[in-house]
């Protein structure tokens, strides 16, 4: 590590920028926004840079650098001229006076550098690679920005306001650490992230009041995160889902959650498989519901990972009904449902002005195992049908649709393991598909799409899986 990161109190910094180009404007803007008083010296200065410096009381001097006397009274010097020799002289003089100095484009000539910053005041995250690649730092900042919600700053302000109060209540540093770790990863934090600031402060105050009753009591409340894992591609997981996975103590996952998504679960997290395949339920639904309650009441943060979206043929409603009855806190994170994800990766738009003006999601397997559906309602021109869990009943579905008036030549697609590298798309017509799947050995999970939009597959298919190579 060549440059060690330090954070300076901007109220105690006064900067002199020597040079008036584009970099000077960028540096002045960053420093002024952070609260640093800036003066500027240059042989030529643009009007907008002059206004920027003078807007906060800074002075602009039109002159060339001549001696270190101009640095008196400053704590930070920025050498930003177009002449490297002059910048080197400025840096040498500044270091001789024991000052902080930054040199544009040549970080080793100075003794401080500017990193990429994620500002979540009062929280600040700085990225530093020793000046090797400012562009790389910028790219990393953009990637990190999406994983650090702006609400983190509000959370920092909230807990900061109560640090002294907790210190009085819990003299032990170790106990305070345990308390804040749980608060910052529990309902208080989630309330802040949801925009419920009053509720968050109320929860925090209640925790502080309960400290006198013992830390175990304060920390005994668990929570359940009902998370939609999407159709398979881990890149389709939402940012909120990813964040909650990182703070979970235990994950209950089903058979439709892909290996790619499970790879995002930290190694330290307990994993409980509760998968359900046709006629093979590892854990009955009532058992899953009770497991969620039991883990939460042990004070654990429980992530319930469900393939697709938990509220679309995912029994998510049944699970949170039990949680609500048992007064277990929970939150629901929507996921990309299989119909949307798989059709998109197959180049099949579910709606299209020329082919389909509506779309209908249908379960291909009812509670009693039958496929007794309102068939006349499903046979509508200009409508796309998407059947979930319909592989076993597919021959019956095709027969019923035709018998109720659907064109036997209606384009259909069977999408196997959609959005993953094992994706396979079988395109046929309503009458021919049952015979095709007998020879193709299609596996679950598979999605069945019926409608004229399927005819666009050959033209719009964009995703290439390992099976297409």
**Confidence (pLDDT) at 211:** 80
Together in a domain, 61 and 82: yes
CA-based nearest residue to 230, from 144, 331, 312, 346: 312
CA-based nearest residue to 248, from 215, 271, 217: 271
Domain boundary among 68, 95, 114: 114
Q: Is the peptide bond before 304 cis (omega within 30 degrees of 0)?
A: no
Helix/strand number for the chain, H first, E second: 19, 19
Over residues 6-42, the pLDDT tens digits come to: 888 988 899 999 999 899 999 999 999 999 999 999 9
> Which residues are CB-neighbours of 351 under 8 A, at least 6 positions away?
357, 358, 359, 384, 453
Together in a domain, 323 and 360: no
**Confidence (pLDDT) at 444:** 86
User: Is the separation of the CB atoms in 101 and 132 below 8 Å?
Assistant: no
- Rounded to an integer, what distance in angstroms lies between the CA atom of residue 40 and that of residue 38? 7
| Mean of pLDDT values over 120-127 | 89
Domain for residue 127, yes or no? no
Together in a domain, 107 and 83: yes
Options 14, 29, 276, 297, the catalytic residue: 276
Together in a domain, 182 and 232: no
Together in a domain, 316 and 349: no
Report the percentage of the chain scoring pLDDT > 90: 66
Together in a domain, 280 and 299: yes
> Which residues are CB-neighbours of 50 under 8 A, at least 6 positions away?
40, 60
Token couple for 274: 């509760």
pTM (global) more than 0.75: no
Together in a domain, 343 and 440: yes
**Confidence (pLDDT) at 280:** 53
CA-based nearest residue to 32, from 12, 62, 48, 53: 53
Together in a domain, 271 and 325: yes
- Rounded to an integer, what distance in angstroms lies between the CA atom of residue 401 and that of residue 408? 8
Strand partners, 360: 385
**Confidence (pLDDT) at 143:** 86
Domain boundary among 218, 251, 275: 218
Least confident of 75-84, 248-257, 368-377: 368-377
- Rounded to an integer, what distance in angstroms lies between the CA atom of residue 91 and that of residue 79? 7
Domain for residue 126, yes or no? no
Beta strands 330-333 and 250-253 are: unpaired
Please give the mean pLDDT across all residues of the chain: 91
Together in a domain, 256 and 364: no
- State the pLDDT confidence band at 368, using cuts at 50, 70 and 90: low
Together in a domain, 291 and 385: no
CATH assignment of the domain containing 259? 3.40.1010.10
| Mean of pLDDT values over 284-303 | 92
Domain boundary among 309, 336, 363: 336
Residue 426 CB burial class (10 angstroms; 0-12, 13-18, ≥19): middle
Domain for residue 145, yes or no? no
Backbone angles phi, psi at 442, to 5 degrees: -75, 140
Domain for residue 466, yes or no? no
Task: Report the number of distinct structural domains present in the chain.
Answer: 4
Token couple for 229: 């894992």
Residue 390 CB burial class (10 angstroms; 0-12, 13-18, ≥19): buried
- State the pLDDT confidence band at 146, using cuts at 50, 70 and 90: confident
pLDDT of residue 361 exceeding 60, the answer is yes
- Rounded to an integer, what distance in angstroms lies between the CA atom of residue 390 and that of residue 126? 51
Beta strands 301-306 and 223-228 are: parallel
Together in a domain, 27 and 77: yes
Residue ranges making up the domain that contains 314: 223-336
Domain for residue 213, yes or no? yes
Residue 23: how many other CB atoms lie within 10 Å: 17
CA-based nearest residue to 373, from 344, 345, 393, 358: 393
Options 254, 306, 309, 417, the catalytic residue: 254
Domain for residue 468, yes or no? no
Report H helices in 170-274. Answer: 173-183, 187-193, 197-210, 215-218, 239-247, 259-262
CA distances from 262 to 61, 222, 245, 399 (A): 60, 22, 10, 38
pLDDT of residue 177 exceeding 90, the answer is no
The H or E element that residue 25 is part of is: helix 22-33
Backbone angles phi, psi at 204, to 5 degrees: -65, -45
Together in a domain, 358 and 319: no
CATH assignment of the domain containing 90? 3.40.50.720
User: Is the separation of the CB atoms in 41 and 68 below 8 Å?
Assistant: no
CATH assignment of the domain containing 432? 3.30.950.10
Size of the chain in residues: 469
pLDDT of residue 330 exceeding 70, the answer is yes
Domain for residue 170, yes or no? yes
Give yes or no: 276 in active site: yes
Token couple for 260: 């790619």
- State the pLDDT confidence band at 220, using cuts at 50, 70 and 90: low
């Amino acid at each position: 590590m060549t440059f060690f990161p330090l954070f300076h109190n901007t109220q105690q910094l006064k900067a002199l920028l020597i040079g008036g180009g584009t970099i000077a404007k960028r540096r002045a803007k960053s420093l002024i926004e952070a609260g640093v008083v800036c003066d500027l010296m240059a042989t030529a200065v643009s009007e907008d840079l002059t206004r920027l410096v003078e807007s906060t009381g800074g002075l602009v001097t039109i002159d060339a650098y001549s001696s270190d006397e101009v640095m008196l009274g400053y704590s930070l010097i920025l050498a930003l001229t177009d002449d490297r020799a002059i910048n080197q002289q400025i840096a040498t003089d500044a270091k001789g006076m024991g000052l902080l100095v930054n040199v544009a484009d040549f970080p080793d000539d100075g003794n401080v550098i500017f990193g990429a910053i994620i500002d979540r005041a009062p929280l600040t995250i700085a990225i530093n690679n020793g000046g090797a690649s400012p562009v790389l730092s910028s790219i990393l900042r953009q990637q990190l920005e999406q994983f650090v919600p702006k609400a983190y700053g509000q959370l920092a302000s909230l807990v900061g306001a109560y640090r002294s109060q907790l210190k009085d209540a819990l003299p032990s540093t170790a106990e305070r650490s345990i308390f804040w770790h749980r608060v910052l990863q529990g309902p208080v934090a989630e309330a802040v992230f949801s925009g419920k600031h009053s509720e968050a402060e109320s929860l925090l105050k209640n925790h502080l009041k309960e400290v006198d009753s013992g830390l175990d009591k304060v920390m005994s409340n668990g929570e359940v995160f009902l998370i939609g894992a999407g159709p398979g591609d881990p890149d389709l997981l939402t940012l909120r889902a990813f964040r909650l996975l990182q703070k979970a103590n235990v994950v209950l996952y089903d058979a439709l959650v892909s290996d790619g998504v499970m790879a995002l679960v930290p190694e330290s997290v307990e994993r409980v498989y509760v998968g359900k395949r046709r006629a093979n339920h590892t854990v009955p639904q009532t058992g899953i519901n009770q497991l969620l309650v039991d883990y939460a009441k042990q004070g654990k943060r429980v992530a319930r990972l469900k393939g697709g979206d938990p509220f679309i043929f995912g029994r998510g409603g049944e699970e949170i009904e039990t949680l609500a009855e048992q007064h277990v806190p929970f939150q629901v994170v929507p996921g990309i449902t299989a119909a949307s994800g798989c059709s998109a990766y197959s180049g099949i738009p579910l709606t299209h002005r020329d082919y389909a003006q509506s779309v209908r999601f249908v379960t291909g397997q009812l509670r009693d195992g039958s496929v007794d559906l309102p068939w006349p309602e499903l046979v509508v021109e200009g409508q796309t049908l998407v059947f979930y869990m319909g592989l076993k009943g597919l021959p019956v579905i095709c027969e019923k649709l035709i018998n109720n008036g659907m064109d036997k030549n209606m384009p259909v697609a069977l999408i196997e393991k959609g959005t993953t590298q094992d994706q396979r798309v079988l395109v046929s017509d309503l009458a021919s598909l049952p015979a095709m799947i007998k020879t193709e050995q299609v596996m679950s999970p598979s999605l069945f799409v019926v409608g004229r939009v399927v005819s666009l597959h050959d033209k719009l298919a964009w995703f290439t899986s390992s099976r297409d190579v």
